[in-house]
Amino acid sequence: MIDSMGRLAVPLYHGTSSYFLAQIREHGLGGFRDSKLFDAEILANLAHALDNTRNSTEWWEFNDFIVRAMLEQRVSDGGFNFRYGYTYLTPSKSTAHRYATSNRLGSEFLTTIYQAYMALASINPVEAENIVPNSHCLRTIFQETHRPVILTLKNVAAGRLRTEQGNPIYEQLNQMISMRDSVSNIEPQVLWQQFNFELEGSIDWSHLDFSLLDD
């Protein structure tokens, strides 16, 4: 799984949106994170407003646990990762495809801010406007159309990877190898859908391939 030069011998994938391509081209994947967009305080303010009984919505009823976990940067007892601020990669192209197409803004955190804003705006537009005013850069992104994107990375240095929970990767690699070798009738990328990696540092644009997907 790791070659003689210390590189992962399988490609990794990252699902995002076309909005981030210019940023990635300039800074590399994982090289820049705009704090004005990835604003935990805005999400916390939206959550506080939605938690008020006067702003009751079905969206909040089904998503309050997820939002609270995001704000707490939590890894659940079941291993679900709600830590944000890192770049995550997957050995399963279908996982990257699913992530890119299910997160309208190319980021689960940003998409959750958008969904929380829309939920609040549907019941209390004045309060939603106060939290995310029309002049805020988030509103521009909310209104634009973005296409889902898959980035492909080959020969990533194993030393720059951790598991998505922030642990060393070797036990996870052994599990991936064991699954691949014991189940010969299923493609490895299907078997590996639940395995993800956290990238340390950034990957230059010249080492990335990208493909635009249909919405």
The rounded distance, in Å, linking the Cα atoms of 197 and 177 is 15
Nearest to 67, CA basis, from 87, 86, 51: 51
pLDDT digits (tens, 9 = 90+) for 131-141: 999 999 999 99
Mean pLDDT of 110-120: 97
pTM of the complete model:
0.90
The rounded distance, in Å, linking the Cα atoms of 43 and 194 is 27
Q: Note the helical H segments in 53-210.
A: 58-71, 93-102, 108-123, 125-131, 137-143, 170-182, 188-191
Place of tokens 């090289």: 31
Q: What is the total residue count of the chain?
A: 215
Which tokens is 99 given?
Answer: 């992530």
pLDDT digits (tens, 9 = 90+) for 48-96: 999 999 999 999 999 999 999 889 877 655 556 667 778 999 999 999 9
pLDDT at 123 over 80: yes
Tell me the HSE value of 142 on the side-chain side, using a 13 A CA sphere.
Answer: 17
Tell me the HSE value of 45 on the side-chain side, using a 13 A CA sphere.
Answer: 13
Calculate what percentage of the chain has a pLDDT beyond 70: 95
Nearest to 162, CA basis, from 202, 201, 198: 198
Which tokens is 15 given?
Answer: 């699902």
